[in-house]
Amino acid sequence: MRENHPAGFDRHMLEALICPVTHSTLHYDAERQELVSKAANLAFPIRDGIPVMLVDEARALE
């Protein structure tokens, strides 16, 4: 059974990614297509299956 990841998104890559600000783990939000850093209160977008790990592109969490 295939997990709910965007096309071309490798689950192992997700596990290897860390927050560029805090170096903590990220959580995948399938609904918003984002990688969430709870430690930094930021959500990094996934565009066309590619995580955009730039702080300037991240959305601040409320």
pLDDT higher than 70, residue 5: no
E strand intervals along 1-62? 27-29, 34-37, 42-47, 50-51, 59-60
pTM (2 d.p.):
0.80
Q: Give a yes or no: residue 6 inside a domain.
A: no
**Beta-bridge mates of residue 47:** 50
Q: What are phi and psi of 17, to 5 degrees?
A: -75, 145
Q: In whole angstroms, what separates CA 50 from the centre of its chain?
A: 9
Taking the C-alpha atoms of residue 4 and residue 53, their distance in angstroms, rounded to an integer, is 20
Question: What digits encode the pLDDT tens for the residues 8-52?
Answer: 566 677 778 999 999 999 999 989 999 999 999 999 999 998 899
Q: Determine, yes or no, domain membership for 49.
A: yes
Q: What's 35's domain CATH number?
A: 2.20.25.10
Number of folded domains that form the chain: 1
Give the range of the structural domain holding residue 15, as residue numbers without chain letter.
11-60
Residue 47 inside a domain? The answer is yes
